[in-house]
Chain A
Amino acid sequence: MGKFAADVSALVNKSKDRIRRVATDAIQDVMDAAQQPQLGITKGATSFVVGKIPVAEGELRGSLRAELLGGGAAIGPDSYAVVLAGYEVGMNMKFTWTAPHALPMELGFTARNGRQVPGRFFVGANAARFSEFVASRVAEVNAL
């Protein structure tokens, strides 16, 4: 291979590495934020913030199933980090909180007394920040 071709090949590989790094870091930022715990109301908390996962017994946080479509899957609070290690650009990933109360906690629900309990949006609020995380990681990679 001539020097020019070798240089182009090296540049392409370097770009691929940088794209992969931005993608995995930004996805991990979303998941880190989504799995950021806050004390559940049933455990004595008097308030909550949107964008953090409520933790009483840890069942919801621990119910996370991370799957690399066509690849492996893992279950547990840190499962996304395990699966992200095998991620290559172009692959699809799926993250599922499998606890039965995951959607009520995300979007809100009706309490026994009829009160509307607001959602925590631990998934939606952080997924919506993906482009913000990407921009931050791109700036980080460009600074290298």
Chain B
Amino acid sequence: MNEQDIANALQQRLVSANIAPVVFENPNANANHARPFLFVQHVTTDRVDLSLAGGHVIARGFMSVTAVIAEGTFANQAMALLDQVSALFPKCLRLTITGGVITIPQPARIMQGFQYKADYRRGVHVFYDASAVLNAVIT
């Protein structure tokens, strides 16, 4: 279970839902995209292993999804997009990944919106706990 698997699983679920065009941190962040779009960033916060023998890593963090809409349009457009993102990741959702499972431990948290230059932006944090499958450690 590695961080790339975690990011891929979360981001693939988002992209598959086809809520709005998704812009990722590196591959297409340099282009000037038509609004609205969702800017996705993967933030890691914690990685622990409480087992004596090791091999049972728990990784925590959040996927930040920012709805970017054009200046001069109603802000609730961003909220509607983020509501759809939140609904995709309800509490207790489990996603199986290579060597582990991702659990969504709490509802996604929609952040305060703000206007900056020609954008109105509003973000949501989708928190995750990912743990290595325990029986893989025991056997």
Chain A residues within CB distance 8 Å of chain B: 50-51, 101, 103-104, 107-110, 112-116, 118-119, 121, 124-126, 128-129, 132
Contact = CB atoms under 8 A, between A and B. Distances in A.
> By CB atoms of chain B within 10 A, which of A114, A116, A125, A129 has the most?
A116
Contacts, number: 74
A108 B39 contact: yes
B46 A118 contact: no
A115 B30 contact: yes
Nearest to A103: B114
29 contacts: A50-B44, A103-B116, A104-B116, A107-B111, A108-B121, A109-B117, A109-B121, A112-B117, A113-B30, A113-B32, A114-B30, A114-B31, A114-B32, A114-B33, A115-B29, A116-B25, A119-B41, A119-B64, A119-B123, A121-B43, A124-B62, A124-B64, A124-B125, A125-B43, A125-B45, A125-B61, A128-B60, A129-B45, A132-B46
Interface string B26-62: 0001111100000101011110100000000000111
A116 to B, nearest CB: 4
Interface residues of B, number: 31
Interface string B17-31: 000000101000111
A103 B119 CA distance: 13
Contact of A128 (B30, B41, B45): B45
